[in-house]
A and B are shown apart, each in its own frame.
Chain A
Amino acid sequence: MIENKNRKSAWIAFVIVLLFLALVIVLDQIIKPTDKMYMLLTVLQKGSVYALAAVSMNLLNGYTGLFSLGHAGFMLIGAYTYAIFTIPSTARDTVYQYYDAAIRISFPEIFSGALGGFGTVLGVALAVILAGLMAALLAYLIGLPVLRLKSDYLAIATLGFAEIIRAVFQWSKLGPVTNGSNLLKSFARTSTFKLNLGGSTVSLSTFVPVLIATISITVIVLIVNSTYGRAFKAIRDDEVAAEAMGINLAKHKMISFVTSSFFAGVAGATMAMVLSIAQANNFKSAMTYEILLMVVLGGIGSISGSVIGAMLFISASEWWLRGLDSGSFLGINAPGVFRNGFRLVVFSVAIMIVVLFFRKGIMGEKELPDLFRKRKKAPVKEAAE
Chain B
Amino acid sequence: MKKVLALALALIMVFALCACGSSSSSAPAASSSTASSSGDANPVVKIGVFEPQSGDNGAGGKQEVLGMQYANVLTPTVEIGGQVYDVELVYADNASSNDKAPTAAQTLISSGVSLVLGSYGSGVSIAAGDTFASAGVPAIGVTCTNPQVTSDCDVYFRICFLDPFQGTVLANFAKNELGATKAYCLAKQGDDYSGGLCNYFIEAFGADNCVYEQFPEGTSDYSTYITNAQNQECDVFFSPVSTEAAAQIIAKADTQALGMPILAGDTWDSNVILNAAKGTDVNICVTTFYQEGADAEFDAGIKEWINGDATALANNGGNDELAAVTVMGFDAYYVALEALKAAGSTDPADVLAVLPSVTYNGVTGAIAFDDIGDALRDSAFVKECNTETGVWDFVTVATVG
A: residues with CB less than 8 A from B are: 32-39, 42, 46, 91, 94, 97-98, 167, 170, 172, 180-183, 185-186, 189, 191, 205, 275-277, 279-282, 318, 322, 325-327, 335-336, 339-341, 345, 349, 352-353, 356-357
Contact = CB atoms under 8 A, between A and B. Distances in A.
Given A39-B106, A189-B130, A182 B190 contact: yes
A8 B102 CA distance: 42
A97 B200 CA distance: 11
Nearest to A190: B134
B30 interface: yes
B363 interface: no
Contacts of B28: 339-340
Contacts of B10: 349, 352
A181 B54 contact: no
Contact of A38 (B32, B109, B214): B109
B64 interface: no
28 contacts: A33-B106, A33-B109, A33-B110, A36-B110, A94-B148, A94-B151, A94-B152, A97-B199, A98-B199, A170-B216, A181-B195, A182-B190, A183-B126, A183-B192, A186-B152, A191-B134, A276-B127, A276-B130, A277-B99, A277-B130, A326-B30, A326-B32, A326-B91, A327-B32, A335-B30, A339-B28, A340-B28, A357-B3
Please provide the 8 A-B residue pairs with the shortest distance between their CB atoms, ordered closest to farther. A326-B31, A33-B135, A181-B190, A191-B134, A282-B99, A181-B189, A339-B27, A276-B130
Interface of B: 3, 6-7, 10, 14, 26-28, 30-32, 53-54, 91, 93, 97-99, 102-103, 106-107, 109-112, 123, 126-127, 130-131, 133-137, 147-148, 151-152, 189-192, 195-196, 199, 214, 216-217, 348
Contacts of B199: 97-98
B365 to A, nearest CB: 28
Contacts of A279: 98-99, 190
Given A97-B147, A339-B28, A339-B30, 10 more contacts: A34-B348, A98-B199, A183-B190, A191-B131, A277-B130, A279-B190, A281-B190, A282-B98, A349-B10, A349-B14
Contacts of B91: 326
Contacts of B217: 281
A93 to B, nearest CB: 11
A34 B135 CA distance: 7
A78 to B, nearest CB: 15
Contacts of A276: 102, 127, 130-131
Contact of A172 (B32, B53, B97, B214): B214
A10 B6 CA distance: 43
Contacts of B147: 97
A181 B198 CA distance: 14
Given A281-B217, A282-B99, A336 B135 contact: no
Contact of B97 (A181, A282, A340): A282
A268 to B, nearest CB: 12
Contacts of B31: 325-327
A116 B72 CA distance: 50
A182 B146 CA distance: 12
